Structure formats: C-alpha cells, structure tokens
Amino acid sequence: MPEVLCLGLGGGTKVLQNPHGSVTVGPESVGHRLLSEALVFGGKTLTATDVAVAEGKVNIGDVALVRHLKGTETIQKARQEIRTILERGVDSMKLSAEDAVLVLVGGGSIVQMDEVKGVAKIIRPPHFDCANAVGAAIAKVSGQIDTIEILEGRDEQEIIQPTKQKAIEAAIEAGADRDTVKIVSLENLPLENSAVKATRLIIKAAGMLRVDALLKATAEETNGVFEPTTNGHKPEVDTKSDDYATSASALIKTSDYKPEVTPDGTWLVSEVDSRAALHQGKQMRVVDINTMPDDTLVFGTSTYGAPAVVSERLPSGTEAIDAIDGVLPYFGIAKPGALIADEIGGMNDLRPLLTSIHYDVATIDGDYMGRAYPRIYHSTTYVNGLPIVPCAQADGMGNTVAVSKCEDPIRLEKLQRKAALELGLLSQMSQSGMRVGDLKKYAVLGSTSLAWYIGRAIYQARQEKTSIVDAILRAHPCGRLLYTGKIIDVRRFVSDGGYTEGPVRLRAIGAEEREVGETVCTETRDMVLPFQNEYLYAALKDGKQEEVICTVPDLISLIGMDGYALGTQDIKYGLRVNVMAFVGHPHWYTERGLELGGPGDFGYKDMKQVSVAPAFYDPPRVTDMFRPR
C-alpha cells in the first residue's frame, strides 16, 4: 500500500522567532485563514508563504508588505529550516539511496525555494496548484461503524456481518456508489473491563463517489470563509517545540552511531538507544552480569494479563515498583541489587529500565525467556529448577497480590490469573529474587544487546532503503522468513483464563500484488497463526489440510512492512506483514523446556515441535563491543 508521510509544512505554516534567536517553522499553521492572517495579505502572522514572497520566489499578495524582510536573518533561518524539513521528508520516502525525482503539487508546494539534497530533479506539472481539488474530487467516500456489542449467548460472526453492512450503508449515505463499496478495515477488540462479555467493533467501508451525490459541508461558512465549530471557545495551541520533537534515532546516521559505554563497562542508555530514556531525569544503566558479585539479589518484572486490554486501559506507571515492593519483604531488603527483564518481548524489555530509575540500580543485559510467553512459569530459570515464589502482581492503583508458597506452577498460574482478572488484566508481575550466580547459568544473557542490534538494523535499513527482513536476519541470524502475506481474518477474544486468544489468517502476496520493498511469496496456501498472547505455531493451510512449519519454543513474529513487530493486540484486517521465526534459547529445547514451553503446554498434545534452524545465536554484548579500550 502507498506510504504516506505527513509534514507540518505548507503555505500557511507559521514561522516563529524564538527568544534565544532560533527560528521554528511549523507545525502550526494558519490553514484556511491564510488570506487574512499572512503578512502579504495584510495580516500579522509570518508564514512560509511570506518567506517565499519576501525572497522573490513567488508573487502572491502584496509584495510591498514583506519587502523589508528580504535577506534578514529570520527569513534566511526560516528558509534553511524549510529546506531541512523537505530533505528529511524526501529521505524518509525514497526507495533507494539514489537521487530521486520530486514531483510537487498543491498550493503549498511554493514553499520549496532551494535545491533539495537527494533530489536529482524537481517537477511541477501543469495545473499543479489544483491537485488538492482534484484529489478531493476522486477520493473515495467512506463510512465507519464504531460500536460495542454484547457477545453473551450470541455468535460473533452473526454480529460482525450485520455491522459490516451498517458500515457499507454509512458509506453509501455519505455519497459512495453502492456497486463499488467494500470493507477496507475491521478491528475486533475484546473488552475485558466489562461486567459482561463484550467486544468493540470498528469497521470501515469505502467506495467511489456517486456522480449525483451532494457532499455535506462539515463546517459553517461565515463571510465566505469556513470556520470550524468551537461552541464559542477558541482552542489554545501549545507552541512549545519540544511537544513536536522528532525521535532522536531519526536525526542521526545510524551506521555511525555508537552507544555510550563507560570504561568500567556500564552502558548509559541514551535517547537514541531507547525512547524510554526521554524525560526521565536520571540515567538508565545496563551492565553485563559478569561485572556483578554472585550473591547480588536480582528481581525481574513483566506485564501480566491480556495484551488486548491495552486498548482500553492505560497503565499508571507504578505497577512494577509496587510488584517488586511486594516481594522485597520476603528477602528482608529495602531495594533490589539489580533488575532484569522477565521477558524481552514487547514493552517488557523497557520495564526494568524505567523501574531501575526508582531504585537507582542497574539493569542486567538479559532476561528469563529470550522471547515472550504468557505464563508465569514460562522462564528458563524455572525450567532449571529455580523458584518462582514468592511472587507478587500489582495494578498500580494500590492493589498488590502476593503468593508466598504454592504446590506447583500450574496452581500458581491459576491463582495469579484469577487475581489478574480481578485487577483488570493489566498488572505487573515480579517473581522471586534470584542470585547473580544462578542467573549466570540459567538466564538468557545478552538479549538486551540483541534487541538493540535488531533495532539498529531496522533503522539503518530504513535510512539506506534496503531490505528490512535481510537486516533483521543479519542482526539475528538464527531465524528465517516464513511467509509474506496480507491479513484476511482475525478472530480475537479474551478467554476465561485471562489470555488474548484466537487465530489470524494470512493470504500470500504474489508477484502481481507485490509493492515496492515487499518480498514475493511463492507459497500459494494461506497461513494460519493461532495465538495465546503470543503466536503458538505457524501452519500452511489448503482447505482442511494443514502443514505445521514452526512451533513454540521458536519465536514467531509478525513484522510490518515498516519493520515494527505486531503483537496479537496490533493485528487487524488488511495489514501486509512478514512472518519470521527465530530459534529460542537452548534451555527451551531440553526435555523439561519442551514440556513447559512446547506446543503441548498450550493444549496441542499431539503436535510435534518444529524448529526453523539448528543453532542458537549468542549476540556480542553492547558493553563489550563499545567499551573504551
């Protein structure tokens, strides 16, 4: 599908001179009030149009009103900032490192005044300034239904089908041609924080505009100018540039970046390494476990509940601290010696970094899984006989549930799942404290480094316009691409056990459907991926025939075409994805590891474990690679 990048730059973009002398261009804009607010039209706001007119690049409005600005420092700085914004935008959209041809259309394209780095030629076709009107005329008309449906005693598909029809009718009512309308997106989001079993359906349909349709205005016209309805209240606009900060990773050349590691081997996490480092005030630290004494007590934390709940409830930020504080008294200590991730998957790899600030301790480079798993006993530490209890989970609202003893891990999982349901299925869990000496043998070490290498590879591939899949496999070579396809069906629900469960079905992207940057899939069969918080196995399906090609404990991951991993809460109809799989840590392929983390533990008792590759990859540590010598 086409990639769209929005830039806060156009003819009405505001140009602000800051007290310290710098000049900010956008993203605020006078918008449709350009004819009354821009300087060249007698207004009082300096806009990008005024800059272009003052520099003699375009003749719009009254040139005399901005002639005094020509060549001033403000105009020159604004001009350079406009050029920088355009260059960053072009570089983000280019499909290769070669110079591109840039086609500029729309009235706002007049703000381009200088050569653009990375562009060989700039074209403004005839009637370029009419492009906005043409686009509005040929755009599809859509209708959307966003509703919550009660599922008790009802078949889910019987609910979805009439809701689809409502979306189609909404599009037709808005002016779409009935013969061209089709469903373009469908999101099915189970609601757990509800007294009854319910789901939120967001379904959109779209079709071509009917010739006889009368488009309804969505604004009130006053004196020939459209004014948005504000109920008499003029919304305030925060002009602080920090609110529009670009990711630090996007502002550097990734291949040249080196993380900061101190001479003693401490990795000081920067804003480039992780966005979690933003606005924290204190320094996050990552260390290699071999730098710590064997008797140091380490505590881990991870999200516990159902991923689907994230769409309806925001965390408070104190869950992990409350959970760890619920376990510390059993060990007679006030704070942990260090933190570690229970699992490296999703946001759980960042949780110990954020929590470490509260305790002012370092985070160990590693985790207890080397992947993500849904159950409390899914850890390489427990596989090797280390205890889980005492453990505690907290919801960040003053409620902490601790278990000091339990007869077996299955019973413990049931107890804590029941508590998780009561806590809203979005809590943090902290297991028993572990000695560094034991973790050196039984934890998955170096997984934080591996996550960093994969992230760097993806960013670098984006910047250099190379294959993201190939980049990931270079950073993590013990895996392979299983499938490239489009999601054609998702069935997702929160089970009675408190997990997000269901299957997702994909259809292969063939050569005739391939878009730029996508891999052609030679497989003709659909792929089915059942999940329970995480993807459990991948199978190729043709009718009733199913061939399983990968199972847990291998890590199965859905990667969007932009390189972002898609969790089970993120998948939806129409997304185009790459399905990749990676071998897990050797601890998972022992007899005990397969018993706890293989297909059988998820109810597939007769399914044989299938792996994608024979060898596990032990990544180099960031603390070793970048430590000053």
The per-residue pLDDT for 341 is 95
**Does the predicted model carry a pTM greater than 0.75?**
no
Half-sphere exposure of 50 (CA within 13 A, CB side): 32
Give the CA angle between residues 420, 424, 429 to the nearest 5°: 40
Please choose, from the candidates 214, 448, 440, the residue with its C-alpha nearest in 3D space to the C-alpha of residue 342: 448
Please choose, from the candidates 276, 295, 294, the residue with its C-alpha nearest in 3D space to the C-alpha of residue 286: 276
Alpha helices in 476-620 (DSSP H): 591-597
First to last CA, the chain: 47
- Contact between 481 and 519 under an 8 Å Cβ cutoff? The reply is yes
The per-residue pLDDT for 278 is 54
The per-residue pLDDT for 102 is 86
Please choose, from the candidates 565, 27, 545, the residue with its C-alpha nearest in 3D space to the C-alpha of residue 307: 565
Q: Structural domain boundaries of the chain? A: 13-135, 140-212, 258-448, 479-602
Beta strands 100-103; 119-123: pairing state: parallel
- Contact between 202 and 144 under an 8 Å Cβ cutoff? The reply is yes
Task: Give the number of other CB atoms < 10 A from CB of residue 564.
Answer: 12
Task: Tell me the C-alpha distance between 568 and 306, whole Å.
Answer: 10
Whether 258-448 shares its CATH topology with 479-602 is answered no
For 610, the token pair is: 């299938």
Please choose, from the candidates 356, 198, 195, 192, the residue with its C-alpha nearest in 3D space to the C-alpha of residue 287: 356
CATH of 258-448, one of 3.40.50.620, 3.30.540.10, 2.40.50.140, 3.40.1610.10: 3.40.1610.10
Task: Tell me the C-alpha distance between 178 and 42, whole Å.
Answer: 47
Task: Tell me the C-alpha distance between 250 and 562, whole Å.
Answer: 14
- Contact between 531 and 565 under an 8 Å Cβ cutoff? The reply is no
CATH code, residues 479-602: 2.40.390
CA distances from 36 to 29, 41, 48, 270 (A): 13, 6, 14, 45
Beta bridge partners of 102: 122
| Packing angle, helices 468-475 and 447-464, rounded to 10 | 150
Please choose, from the candidates 477, 506, 522, the residue with its C-alpha nearest in 3D space to the C-alpha of residue 566: 506
- Contact between 303 and 351 under an 8 Å Cβ cutoff? The reply is yes
- Which residues does 593 contact at the CB level (< 8 Å), separation at least 6? 380, 383, 553, 587
Residue 69 class from Cβ within 10 Å (0-12 exposed, 13-18 middle, 19+ buried)?
A: middle
The per-residue pLDDT for 104 is 85
Task: Tell me the C-alpha distance between 337 and 296, whole Å.
Answer: 6
The answer to whether the bond into 228 is cis (omega within 30° of 0) is no
Please choose, from the candidates 271, 460, 437, 455, the residue with its C-alpha nearest in 3D space to the C-alpha of residue 364: 437
- Contact between 560 and 575 under an 8 Å Cβ cutoff? The reply is yes
Task: Tell me the C-alpha distance between 611 and 244, whole Å.
Answer: 44
Alpha helices in 95-247 (DSSP H): 131-138, 156-173
Which residues, given as ranges, of the chain have pLDDT below 50?
1, 215-246, 279
Beta bridge partners of 351: none
The per-residue pLDDT for 517 is 54
Task: Tell me the C-alpha distance between 537 and 528, whole Å.
Answer: 8
Beta bridge partners of 143: 205
For 560, the token pair is: 């969007």
Q: Is 292 helix (H, G, I), strand (E, B) or coil?
A: coil
For 203, the token pair is: 């379904």
